[in-house]
Chains A and B, each alone.
Chain A
Amino acid sequence: MKSKANIQSSKLLKMIILSILGTISLLLLFLNFPLPILPSYLKIDFSEVPALIAAFIFSPIAGVIVEAIKNILYLLVGGGEPVGVSANFIAGVLFVVPVSVFYHKYKRTKSVISGLIIGTIVMAVAMSVLNYFVILPVYAMFMGMEEMQIASVKKVAVLYGILPFNLLKGIILGLVFTPLFLKMRQWIESKQHQMIS
């Protein structure tokens, strides 16, 4: 039987692990990759990887917490503005949650790959919808540009900017995460047991 002190201590350990994974996530956000074809403001980074690790070892919610820490830290060190940071948080959650839910359901290598594909599609489609209805109009309000609210302008921005960018980001994350997962699989599973007991 678990004592109260034991539960308290495993909760503290979990909190600390998620904080440190959040820090790693922030570092990876700064180590972003400029890609040859894309304009410089659309940056690919691997900051979703620590969130995925947290979500695989603990639960999808742990992944959400790591995403939140990363984005709050980014605001605290004065890196970004609130709208972009919230968008990054939502995109991260939309990617991490489907992938980890899929993994926890089947726990096979194949399910990780199909999870990554589904996560990419969920993130890309949902971010397109969100940009169309919420994020772009909020930016337009900040800039005082009614032009940005016109449906055709938004459609172009979403179809040629947001959608391909998020698809590419998901694919690259998948290309990095799959070999990483294969390498760390045993470690991830041993940590899962260690953290439950």
Chain B
Amino acid sequence: MNNTLIIGQYVPGNSVVHRLDPRTKITIIFFFVIIVFFANSFWSYAVLTLFGLLSMFASKVPIRFVMKGLMPIWFLIVFTFLLHLFINKDGILLLEWSFIKIYTGGVIQGIAISMRFFLLILITSLLTLTTTPIAITDAVEQILHPLKKIKFPVHELALMMSISLRFIPTLLQETDKISKAQASRGVDFRTGPVKERLKAVIPLLVPLFVSAFKRAEELAMAMEARGYQGGEGRTKLRELKISKLDIWIYILFICVIIGLFLTRNYG
């Protein structure tokens, strides 16, 4: 648990996908999630799957990490597949065994829906696998920048997200320390009746809240001492830049979209 919390699922690397601008990745994933719902034929699914697998291999993330992202919904994929298999009654009867009847329509639809699921999870988990949470925050700040015109607090939101992310390891350590301190006094968090375990949470929470306010006061003081005055005219440590690579990837993705709409209804 500790590792997932500290850096998310991020797998460090220097592949093409890692080097892409996070804004490019977010934009492409956003549109990919939409166009997946337009696929309706064998060849259109083939185009999307090719793109999905290509990005996966280009990211050079070990397959077991991708599989780990798929694990929680593995059951859901199998469940939807079986549901479609048994319920859909289109096409030719393939198999009949007492009350179970399987039709070709069911098989095809089951595969198609499972494929859609698989692609959605694959492409969205590639974002968190190849991009650090802080890079995603920076990118979202940039993407939402136009909303500043309607007084949406973009800078404040991004600042709050980066402060939160920065405090994850600190607070995780602190929680650990407090729970060990309480355990040494005989508090049992893991076993015993539910009521007792609920009670054990309180001595964990009180010091956590009190120290949160202390830390916040320290940080606010430190930021002001260094002249923090809100988002206007602030420079950045990490500048985002669109490179040639990003442009090529956009072109590739547009080709995928065109390919998808050409192959819709074929095969």
Contact = CB atoms under 8 A, between A and B. Distances in A.
A36 B60 CA distance: 41
B133 A77 contact: yes
Q: How large is the interface on B (under 10, 10 to 19, 20 to 34, 35 or more residues)?
A: 35 or more
Given A20-B215, A76-B137, A144-B109, A30 B194 contact: no
B223 A145 contact: no
What DSSP secondary structure best describes chain B's contact surface?
helix
A12 B220 contact: yes
A23 interface: yes
A137 to B, nearest CB: 14
Interface string B47-59: 0000000000000
A176 B202 CA distance: 7
Interface string A74-86: 0011110100000
Nearest to B228: A12
A30 B69 contact: no
Interface in A34-76: 35-36, 46, 49-50, 53, 65, 69, 72-73, 76
Contacts of B216: 13, 16-17, 19-20
A184 interface: yes
Given A17-B212, A144-B113, A78 B1 contact: no
Given A16-B216, A78-B129, A50 B164 contact: no
A24 B198 CA distance: 17
7 closest residue pairs by CB, A with B = A78-B128, A77-B8, A19-B163, A144-B113, A13-B220, A78-B9, A76-B133
